Amino acid sequence: MLRWALIFLVIALIAGVLGFGGIAAGAAQIAKIIFIVFIVLFLIGLIMHVARGRSV
């Protein structure tokens, strides 16, 4: 999932440099959403791992 966020970030950066404002904004928004979902899932997984009593 982090890979997809990075891909959309690169697409947004390239589109921004080339002057495609709408495409850059859309790709950047998608990258932000996917990154936030990744962080939430990572934190849930970390909490579940710690709750089971195993060391990180």
Encoding tokens for residue 41?
């899932």
- pLDDT (tens digit per residue) in 5-17: 788 888 888 888 8
Provide the 10 A C-beta neighbour count for residue 24. 18
For the whole model, what pTM was predicted?
A: 0.67
Encoding tokens for residue 23?
């495409």
Count of domains forming the chain: 1
pLDDT at residue 49, as a whole number: 86
Residue 55 has pLDDT above 80, yes or no: no
**Assigned domain for 56 exists:** no
CA separation for the pair 12, 19 (Å, rounded): 10
pLDDT at residue 9, as a whole number: 81
pLDDT at residue 54, as a whole number: 63
For 6, the domain range is 2-51
Helix segments in the chain, DSSP class H? 2-18, 21-51
- pLDDT (tens digit per residue) in 22-43: 888 888 888 888 888 888 988 9
Task: Please name the residue that has the structure tokens 């697409």.
Answer: 11
